[in-house]
Structure 1
Amino acid sequence: MFAFFRALKRTDPALCLERISTGEMLLVDVREPQELDTTGFANGAINLPLGRLAAAADASNSARHTALSPDKPVALYCATGARSAQGVMILRKLGYQHVHNLGGLSHWQAAGGALSR
């Protein structure tokens, strides 16, 4: 329970914008594809719905997403920040050290992050 409250703590997206734009940090949208169709998504984000995140991030899975690596910083967002907090916990359990919860898509936009549709 306390791990979830720690994961809920949001990182200021403005602090991550440059690192994401240079490729130093990976941006992951954990929402469902239908949500992206409705609201758009953050520029540069990859979409890995929360239900698929563990398999996509597990280094022992031969079908894992190649952009994910326990050594590379990752920032997650969703609609409000709750699912991204769950994603933070999933990645930490898989050995990812530098994982950040950006909160919701609106937090990304408020920090000056651009959207794609």
Structure 2
Amino acid sequence: MRLKSAIWVSAFLRRCMVEGIFGAVVRKGAEEAGAVFVIVNHLDGTCHLFGPAAGPSHDDAGERRWNIELRPPAGPGEVMALLERRKRADPDLWIVEVEDRAGTAGLAGSA
């Protein structure tokens, strides 16, 4: 069973909070099926940006699949510029930002 975007975002942020990772919704999208983009801010001027994977959005186990849109040394300006372009194409998208100095907040993706 696939979770609605709003429920997935809420669960992801709760999991981050339990792990001591601060996170927040930067932009709220469509409750049921809005695309979710996750900015992982490393707090050193670099970020990862994860977006929905091409093709099926979920794997066989029902987990979301991710594509690494940008990786360090991408900075916050580059990330926001890319997201502005994505918002023009899809006004229903979600943007979530988490602060994780050591990793990718548990997300993995393909480049």
TM above 0.5, yes or no, is no
Structure number having the greater strand percentage:
2
Q: What is the TM-score of this pair, normalised by structure 2?
A: 0.28
Q: What is the TM-score of this pair, normalised by structure 1?
A: 0.27
